[in-house]
Structure 1
């Protein structure tokens, strides 16, 4: 029986980074991954979708936006199979990079399903014919799409008319009519791509707004932008049948039917916990996820859970940080998770980004705030590269106007600009210090400064 200091189950962002950090600290590490390293984010999530969305952005400029800048293209078209092929090349390159990094650091990788059981002095992993003993173990098995028990869904998944985020990223054709169920990040990004690529897209959302728990003004402005692209939203509505390539939807005004060639299910994700032996370990669970403390440790000493599997924030960048915290705690180093400033991005065009408290969340918590907002049309570079738009930067300050509690952005490069705002929010950097900071000119990030000085 082989012995390791740390065993990691799952090779996604939490798993492979935890393995790297532990190996860098001199620990003997084994990583078990039954599919490809990189997890959902790299293989069927963040990276593939951004590759396709960038192709759509280039096509959009070639189709009509370029004319505004004096650039004309004759009969541009988005060749979807080539975009998919490039997506696969990007994924292959990055997966290879992760695998090489793990190998360079001396991490043993077993590409198989791993079982887990508790022993007095640690844990035992069963990986195929191999049995492995370890004193510490990290569960990082990620998440999987929620498949609702709606008539027609099972049959649609079988015949390929109903898709999850996994299958749609392999699809070679552009559907004439696409129905997207769920207006969260994945649903909106796929709706944007396929709308630009030529599909007639309808998005059905149970709540009365898009984008999940983001600022309401950000949600409404983003919705108007997407509607201008031709996307049709059906809000406050629920699908109850998808038989016969028709989505039957209960709306506030009655039942409606929406025909489709493909239907994309984006009704959220759930922790993936199909680990043989885990059910017999008395692991404390809530809402289908293992409960962890501020060190990402479960109720079983020495057993940790990081990334999507713990159900806190299903975001790769949160998984990275949770992995670091878990490994540091395993090694006796002081560290803990701080979830007060988690940035999020919807990679539409323009991008929507957000961090910290929204105005609505602060009000619900009884926190007094000062709200400052500036139009992106105050920003020289943004106008030069995009023209006038309805984008903005919105900051939620504490009641005395001393620190930033939350931020919302709708503009090009929002995904890049949200980082300094995250830094300001998490570290409670005084507003007076930010005012005295010199921002490079001309940059879109100057909108932060413009917003801070707005009366």
Structure 2
């Protein structure tokens, strides 16, 4: 009898498998494509690899601001793509080695849930049957494809995040439908390489759900870099390489050599026998409690398939919660300190409540913010650039409830705010923390002292 069957080898599945293997559980992990899931193979890692290449190119173009000069600065798009593939292969091998080290049996193929009985939970794959005491469903998510007329007829002109990563040539123009995180990261990448980019967003601002002020600031930066934005715009049709959208009661057209469809993702709940368990669904995903348990005993779900927080680091933590509870450690999943990052140039990072979410939830708060130029390290490394750091605290106790940043390297220092929220640190306690000097992270302390 297998202790834990896991369907899906993405961040939720492979982290859960690794942790379970470390604790001596007998684990079988099923993955129909490549280990690592969408994040490692089609999302997080490949996009960040390409974005870093673009950032280096952009920095080289403007090196004169730092007294560094170069002639004939250029880029090789195919080499960027080749390096992206190499990085992905290396990391996939790394995850596979972790599975071997922790004695996790990895089965490549499409798993199918036969059902649950007194003997356990049965899953079949490649003609073999596997019986387990517990099942963890980590089937992830897929790109949402809305019913826009002409979308499918446009053929390979229209791309999702998967297909655009396989392009071998840089498009001269790109229309991005959807100004969320994925859309903005690809917009940033291609804008840096000289592609004419247009972003069409249905909402009043890009990056819905993030701090509104910071989202607007990032949009302004990229508008100056040449990206055209159409907000409050609804796409009504695709005609070949032309996107038709309504805005302010008028119909507009914009053309692009390629069209990137980036309107969100949806949980994968079909095609692997989930219906044979009678699981309860919520928001299109599998409904779970704070321990990631479903309504069926012995069956858990983690990652994007829950339809709640579609982030790789959320998925990994959810997988850990499952294993901790299976191995005797009482653990619950908390979502109040989940960081969100946008890897544009400059980066955006945030965690906890925004001003908008705090107001909508009737949370009494105080807010303080400072320009990033209050950090000496930021000034030294970002000639002519600026940004913002904003911190929210509860009105009554002064505990940190949110922090949001625009400026490099926000992605690398936002974890400090995550810790503060997780530990319910107050302004006084934050003021007593010693930050290394000079670092950009000191901006947190500067903001805390400005309340």
Looking at structure 1, the residues matched to 38 and 11 of structure 2 have their Cα atoms a distance apart, in angstroms, of 9
In 1: Cα distance, 2:255 partner to 2:234 partner? 15
Corresponding position of 1:311: 307
Per-residue deviation, residues 162-181 of structure 1 (Å, max 9, x unmatched): 00000001101111110001
Q: How many residues align?
A: 450
2:46 alignment counterpart: 48
Q: 1:7 aligns with which of 5, 9, 17?
A: 5
Q: Which of residues 237, 241, 254 is equivalent to 1:241?
A: 237
The Cα shift of 1:333 comes to 2.1
Rounded Cα–Cα distance in structure 2 between residues aligned with 1:110 and 1:442: 49
1:37 corresponding residue in structure 2: 35
What's the CA shift string for 1:122-146, capped at 9, x where partnerless?
2001111100100100001111000
What whole-Å deviation, never above 9, does each CA across 1:51-71 have from its counterpart, x for those lacking one? 0110011100111x2110011
Does the CA-based 8 Å contact 1:375-1:392 persist in structure 2?
yes
Match for residue 81 of structure 2 among 79, 84, 90: 84
Equivalent residue number for residue 369 of structure 1: 365
| 1:22 aligned partner | 20
Q: What pairs up with 1:89-128 in 2 under 5 angstroms? A: 89-116=86-113, 117-128=115-126
Q: Which residue of 1 aligns with 2:161?
A: 165
Q: Out of 211, 215, 218, which is 1:219 matched to?
A: 215
Equivalent residue, structure 2, for 1:183: 179
Instruction: State the shift of 1:39 in Å.
Output: 0.5
Q: Which moved more, 1:440-449 or 1:379-388?
A: 379-388
SS at match of 1:110: strand
Checking the alignment, whether the CA contact within 8 Å between 2:157 and 2:240 is kept in structure 1 is no
Contact 1:374/1:392 (<8 A) preserved: yes
Measure the CA separation in 2 of the matches of 1:265 and 1:244. Answer: 14
1:277 Cα shift? Answer: 2.2
The TM-score, its normalising length taken from structure 1, stands at: 0.97
**Contact preservation (8 Å) 1:174, 1:198:** no
Q: Which residue of 2 aligns with 1:437?
A: 433
Q: Which secondary structure does the structure 1 equivalent of 2:414 belong to?
A: helix
Q: How far did 1:411 drift? A: 0.9
| 1:377–1:388 Cα contact (<8 Å) kept | no
SS, match of residue 171 in structure 2: coil
Secondary structure (helix, strand or coil) at the match of 1:198 reads coil
Q: Which residue is 1:341 aligned to? A: 337
Is the CA contact (8 Å cut-off) linking 2:291 and 2:332 kept in structure 1?
A: yes
Deviation at 1:401, TM superposition (A): 5.9
What displacement does 1:217 show? Answer: 0.8
Offset, 1:229: 1.3
Q: 2:150·2:238 contact (CA, 8 Å) conserved in 1? A: yes
Work out whether 1:255 is the aligned partner of 2:251: yes
2: distance between equivalents of 1:334 and 1:121?
26
Task: Give the match's secondary structure for 2:197.
Answer: strand
Question: C-alpha distance in 1, partners of 2:53/2:345?
Answer: 12
Residues 153-198 of structure 1: CA deviation (Å, up to 9, x unaligned): 1122xx3100000000110111111000111110000000011112
CA contact (8 A) 1:118 1:281 kept: yes
SS in 1 for 2:98: helix
1:285 and 2:281 matched: yes
Structure 1, unmatched stretches of 5+, are: none
Offset of residue 208 of structure 1: 0.5
**Paired residues of 1:376 and 1:392 also in contact (CA < 8 A):** yes
Cα RMSD (Å): 1.1
Return 5+ residue gaps in structure 2 as ranges: none
SS state at 2:240 partner:
helix
Deviates more, 1:427-436 or 1:301-310: 427-436
1:441, distance to aligned residue in structure 2 (A): 0.6
Superposition TM-score, scaled by structure 2 size: 0.98
